[in-house]
A and B are shown apart, each in its own frame.
Chain A
Amino acid sequence: MQFGLTEEQEMIVSTVRSFVETEIYPHEADVERTGEVPPELAEAIKAKTIELGFYACNFPESIGGAGLSHLDFALVERELGRGSMALTHFFGRPQNILMACEGEQIERYLLPAVRGERMDALAMTEPDAGSDVRGMKCAARRDGGDWVVNGSKHFISGAEHADFVIVFIATGEEDTPKGPKKKITTFLVDRGTPGFTIREGYRSVSHRGYKNMILEFDDCRLPDAQVLGPVDGGFAVMNEWLYATRITVATMSVGRARRCFDMGLAYAAERKQFGQQIGKFQGVSFQLADMITEIDAADWLTLAAAWRLDQGLPANREIASAKLYASEMLARVTDATLQIYGGMGLMDDFPIERFWRDARVERIWDGTSEIQRHIISRDLLRPLGA
């Protein structure tokens, strides 16, 4: 067993960290204030990422990625997690589900996404289908040789800048022991396809500037060439690839927690009340001890889950544990840091209030804490017949 990073990993971490500190941090306050990322800034971040060979570094070398292992990629995303998601979005990491592309789709979607020429987004959630994915109403029916799609999706992160969207759509129903359930198919939908609209969503307290968009399908006609993976095979495609988004949430939570913690630690060593640094009060110092313990625990849990993937070991439960624990840890760490800052923590002069707000969504998106607990407990109990 070996817990240290290799020299390459250390260099990856230090490069990405200085990138985030130099290219992302200085723009965060503006993005937070306006809720927008200026297009020229987005392009600049993207161009620098491509130049550094980090764009789509989660993809295999054979198709132009950097071929990073799951563990290496987790380290990259952990450092990215320190920065504003609205901005680090352009440190492009296309959805690995694009590896399911076949035939012409490789040239049209996979390769341009890896090269940074076309950006993607992933759409699953609907107003009436959150955790209950198979309750989705957005549906496609056969018409001639094509599919005709009607319905909508919401909370679609990244769709604002997407050239195409990977959309999960119901393509019929099947009978299961638990009653009828939707069959799901994955589609690749280009921006500008007739009958397909991408519009602004809601104003969220978390991750301003990283907009949640609404997708609308109004008799949107899609040929078979737009189907990703097998027809009615969407659930399998989801299960095969979507683990990655949960590791992303876990790693980014760890990165952001460390940034927040460092500020809390420094403040505790500086701020004086009752004639001494507040870090000398046990109420604060023990809080800091608990915070770093939880951050380290979440860090190791997450890296170990990524390592399991690299070893080809089952990792579904471990990934769920990492997502669950890291996102809940982030909530506690940001809340505790805010408490150390006192009233000033709530003011937007410091980024603490932003970390605190941003932390809230991590327990909800990419599978709520409840869904993660469901995955973990089913993994434990199902083999026992319970």
Chain B
Amino acid sequence: MKVLVPVKRVIDYNVKVRVKADNTGVDLANVKMSMNPFDEIAVEEAIRLKEAGTATEIVAVSIGVKDATKVLHTALAMGADRAILVEATDDQENDIEPLAVAKILAKVVEEEQPGLVLLGKQAIDNDCNATGQMLAAVLGWAQATFASNVEITPEGATVIREVDGGLQTIKIKTPAIVTVDLRLNEPRYASLPNIMKAKKKPFETKTPSDYGVDVAPRLEVVKVVEPSSRQAGVKVGSVAELVEKLKNEAGVI
């Protein structure tokens, strides 16, 4: 079974994000960019499936700016077999929307015919949490989101999902889309031999027009602002005072 792993180049999770002064977005100039951490978990899961003999080939794909090449090389260094870059924009401020990404991925899926698409449940930059679901809808495939365990079975896959207040186990038929959650696995380090081999692995570069997909934005970002800062707390002298404040000031009891 071939596994397709879409990976996104996002602002590194260690970077303290700053909103631009004109409130049009966040500052990406001279900021470290990395692979979306959830996608890293997806790559790791694909490699584990390959090591277990379930997956035969891992294809990583990224849609965005040319510099996403680095993110794909990271996937190759971790253990993906080949990579496809869809150069959809030359401006890193231009975040390709989930629907356009899903449409391109659907075309890649048509060409590659994977048995499974593994991807992060969301990207940590825009937190849309939509690409996987949209891809499943475009393809008409089964989907399992927020996976914390994936088991490939003769009939398809059994996926444990993290839902509010517990875990839900579902069975899906393959081919399928699985979006992965934080606790699925811990991604490995790239080994030194794999780092050295990464750039020698097959690498294709495409454009959205190769797939006949229009990536023009459908959404308009009106304003981006910092979260409001938390107000300082107050110290109370006694339980009685606390109860009094909860009753009369906070109005919660």
Binding site for B on A (CB under 8 A): 7-8, 10-12, 15, 18-19, 51-54, 57, 66, 68
Contact = CB atoms under 8 A, between A and B. Distances in A.
A15 B189 contact: yes
Interface string B178-213: 000000000001111111101100000000000000
A52 B70 contact: no
Contacts of A66: 192-193, 196
Contacts of A10: 70
Contacts of B196: 8, 66
Instruction: Report, as a range, how many residues of chain B touch the other chain.
Output: 10 to 19
Contacts of B193: 53, 66
Contacts of A19: 189
A17 to B, nearest CB: 10
A53 B198 contact: no
14 contacts: A7-B70, A7-B198, A11-B73, A11-B190, A12-B195, A15-B192, A15-B195, A19-B189, A51-B191, A52-B189, A52-B192, A53-B192, A53-B193, A53-B194
Name the residue among A8, A54, A57 with the largest chain B CB count within 10 angstroms.
Answer: A8
Interface string B47-79: 000000000000000000000001001100100
Name the residue among B74, B190, B192 with the largest chain A CB count within 10 angstroms.
Answer: B192
A11 B195 contact: yes
A7 B192 contact: no
B128 to A, nearest CB: 26
Contacts, number: 38
SS class, residues of chain A in contact with chain B: helix
Interface string B62-105: 00000000100110010000000000000000000000000000
Contacts of A7: 70, 73, 198-199
B70 A54 contact: no
A52 B195 CA distance: 10
Contacts of B190: 11, 15
Contacts of B192: 12, 15, 52-54, 57, 66, 68
A85 to B, nearest CB: 21
Contacts of A68: 192
A92 to B, nearest CB: 13
A8 B189 contact: no
A11 B74 contact: yes
Name the residue among A10, A11, A18 with the largest chain B CB count within 10 angstroms.
Answer: A11
A293 to B, nearest CB: 18
Contact of B195 (A8, A18, A51): A8
Nearest to A52: B191
A312 B68 CA distance: 35
Given A11-B77, A15-B192, A18-B189, 13 more contacts: A7-B198, A8-B198, A10-B70, A11-B198, A12-B192, A15-B195, A19-B189, A51-B191, A52-B191, A52-B192, A54-B191, A57-B192, A68-B192
A49 to B, nearest CB: 10
Nearest to B195: A11
Contacts of A53: 191-194
Name the residue among B70, B74, B189, B199 with the largest chain A CB count within 10 angstroms.
Answer: B189
A57 B192 CA distance: 9
Nearest to A269: B16
Nearest to A76: B192
A68 to B, nearest CB: 8
A12 B189 CA distance: 10
Nearest to B187: A18
Contacts of A52: 189, 191-192
A7 B199 CA distance: 9
A175 to B, nearest CB: 49
A53 B196 CA distance: 11
B101 to A, nearest CB: 24
A8 B73 CA distance: 9
A12 B195 CA distance: 7
A372 B206 CA distance: 54
A52 B70 CA distance: 20
Contacts of A18: 189
B199 A8 contact: yes
A51 B188 CA distance: 11
A57 B196 CA distance: 12
Contacts of A8: 195-196, 198-199
Nearest to B73: A7
Nearest to A65: B192
The 8 closest A-B pairs by CB, nearest first: A53-B192, A53-B191, A11-B195, A53-B193, A52-B191, A15-B189, A66-B192, A54-B192
